[in-house]
């Protein structure tokens, strides 16, 4: 699991509506341990642990972004849906000392499941101060979304460690919870979106996770167009090629074939209506990503401009033609 050594890679433990993200700066001190079956990395701001099992299925995929010259990519580490289940508690519940904490100094602190009812991840906080412990225990058995629950206000006030635990690892965030009108801090942070949580989904419908599988951890390898903060950088061909290798191994074969057809058709100068895309909600996204990658790799051409006008609705300022 050498990706843990790469400061350009990011990680998350997530479900639809709740996410804990881990990243680190290249110059940031980090404790990293790599093993064939996983490993862990931690900094003063957060940490991630990966514990691979034989049942884990990596799923590599690419997505479109609002910036019509860019795209996203990720590798979801999935388990069969029937094997990913965690506690699925629906109220605050004390779990005891967090013996599995990434850092030894955190293993005596008490872990509380926030009771979000999520399938593949237990969303927790870790407490050690008497004041916070008292408030969390007073709020046991009640919803975290009950504004009269003393635990809710105490969590925002104390900003404790957040721990997102899955069957194949966890992400921990030590940075403060931002105020309701504030921005998430740079680096490790969490998001909690109640409206999305209510859907009960394990992942967005726009992500091509195979049926009856659920993503437990996500790896976001170094991106060829942008750094860990999302800032655009000069196109890095080596990082592009590295993810394409992962996509060839762990991507959906039908979507990979569609992408190949787009590359070949644009290169030959075929018209956009020559493509017969397979049915399914992911096809158009694959076509758009392919066109954006062709632009990043080779620049503009009359053929590419025609395809982008047809499939990506890009204006001239976006396409740079």
Residues 238 and 259 both lie in one domain? no
Residues 260 and 168 both lie in one domain? no
pLDDT at 281 (0 to 100): 87
Query: Which residues sit opposite 88 in a β-bridge?
Result: none
Residues 285, 206 contacting (CB under 8 angstroms): yes
Backbone phi and psi for residue 65, each to the nearest 5 degrees, phi listed first: -130, 170
- C-alpha 42/C-alpha 26 separation (Å) is 13
Residues 64 and 89 both lie in one domain? yes
Residues 238 and 261 both lie in one domain? no
Residues 160 and 305 both lie in one domain? no
Residue the block writes with tokens 């080596």: 238
pLDDT at 279 (0 to 100): 84
Residues 240 and 298 both lie in one domain? no
pLDDT at 99 (0 to 100): 97
Domain count, the chain: 2
Q: What is the mean pLDDT of residues 191-212?
A: 93
- C-alpha 160/C-alpha 224 separation (Å) is 35
- C-alpha 57/C-alpha 238 separation (Å) is 25
Distance from CA of residue 293 to its chain's centroid? 21
Residues 173, 22 contacting (CB under 8 angstroms): yes
Residues 120 and 245 both lie in one domain? yes
Q: What domain range is 299 assigned to?
A: 253-321
Residues 264 and 213 both lie in one domain? no
pLDDT at 280 (0 to 100): 85
- In the structure encoding, which two tokens stand for residue 319, read together? 């396409």
Confidence of residue 318 (pLDDT cuts 50, 70, 90): very low
Residue 111 has pLDDT above 70, yes or no: yes
pLDDT at 277 (0 to 100): 87
CA-atom Rg of the chain in angstroms: 21
Residue 209 has pLDDT above 50, yes or no: yes
Residues 113, 93 contacting (CB under 8 angstroms): yes
Neighbour-count burial of 258, counting CB atoms closer than 10 A to its CB (0-12 exposed, 13-18 middle, 19+ buried): buried
- In the structure encoding, which two tokens stand for residue 259, read together? 């992408």
Q: Above pLDDT 90, what percent of the chain?
A: 88
Maximum average pLDDT range among 2-6, 196-200, 243-247: 243-247
Which of 150-164, 277-291, 303-317 is the least confident region? 303-317
Q: Cα–Cα distances in Å, from 155 out to 45, 61, 109?
A: 18, 35, 15
- In the structure encoding, which two tokens stand for residue 162, read together? 């957040």
Edge-to-edge strand order for the sheet containing 31-35? 31-35, 38-42, 46-51, 169-173, 161-166, 122-127, 110-113, 93-97
Rounded (5°) CA angle 244-242-276: 10
Confidence of residue 319 (pLDDT cuts 50, 70, 90): very low
- C-alpha 122/C-alpha 170 separation (Å) is 9
Confidence of residue 21 (pLDDT cuts 50, 70, 90): very high
Residues 242 and 261 both lie in one domain? no
pLDDT at 173 (0 to 100): 98
Residues 259 and 247 both lie in one domain? no
pLDDT in tens, 34-59: 988 899 999 999 999 999 999 999 99
Last residue of a domain, one of 205, 234, 251: 251
pLDDT at 153 (0 to 100): 94
Residues 306 and 268 both lie in one domain? yes
pLDDT in tens, 234-283: 999 999 999 999 999 999 999 999 999 999 999 999 999 999 988 888 99
**pLDDT averaged over the chain?**
93
pLDDT at 121 (0 to 100): 97
Last residue of a domain, one of 195, 224, 251: 251
Residue 224 has pLDDT above 70, yes or no: yes
Residues 43 and 122 both lie in one domain? yes
Last residue of a domain, one of 251, 267, 289: 251
Backbone phi and psi for residue 78, each to the nearest 5 degrees, phi listed first: -110, 155
Residues 20, 171 contacting (CB under 8 angstroms): yes
């Amino acid at each position: 699991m050498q990706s843990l050594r790469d400061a350009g890679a990011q990680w998350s433990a997530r479900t639809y509506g709740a996410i804990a993200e881990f990243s680190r700066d290249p110059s940031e001190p980090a404790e990293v341990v790599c093993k064939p079956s996983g490993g862990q990395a931690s900094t003063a701001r957060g940490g991630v642990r990966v514990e691979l099992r034989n049942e884990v299925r990596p799923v590599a995929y690419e997505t479109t972004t609002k910036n019509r010259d860019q795209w996203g990519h990720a590798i979801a580490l999935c388990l069969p849906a029937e094997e990913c289940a965690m506690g699925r508690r629906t109220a605050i519940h004390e779990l005891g000392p967090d013996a599995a904490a990434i850092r030894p100094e955190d293993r005596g602190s008490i872990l509380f499941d926030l009771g979000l009812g999520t399938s593949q991840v237990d969303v927790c906080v870790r407490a050690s101060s008497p004041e916070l412990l008292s408030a969390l225990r007073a709020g046991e058995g009640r919803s975290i979304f009950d504004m009269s629950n003393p635990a809710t206000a105490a969590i925002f006030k104390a900003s404790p460690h957040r721990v997102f635990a899955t069957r194949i690892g966890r992400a921990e965030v030590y940075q403060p919870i931002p105020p309701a009108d504030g921005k998430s801090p740079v680096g490790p942070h969490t998001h909690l979106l109640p409206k999305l949580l209510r859907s009960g989904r394990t992942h967005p419908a726009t992500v091509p996770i195979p049926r009856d599988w659920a993503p437990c951890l996500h790896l976001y390898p170094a991106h060829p167009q942008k750094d860990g903060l999302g800032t655009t950088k000069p196109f890095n061909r080596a990082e592009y090629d590295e993810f394409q290798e992962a996509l060839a191994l762990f991507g959906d074969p039908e979507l990979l074939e569609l992408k190949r057809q787009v590359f070949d058709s644009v290169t030959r100068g075929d018209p956009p209506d020559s493509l017969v895309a397979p049915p399914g909600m992911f096809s158009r996204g694959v076509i758009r990503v392919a066109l954006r990658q062709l632009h990043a790799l080779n620049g503009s051409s009359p053929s590419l401009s025609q395809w982008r006008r047809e499939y990506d609705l890009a204006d001239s300022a976006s396409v740079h033609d």
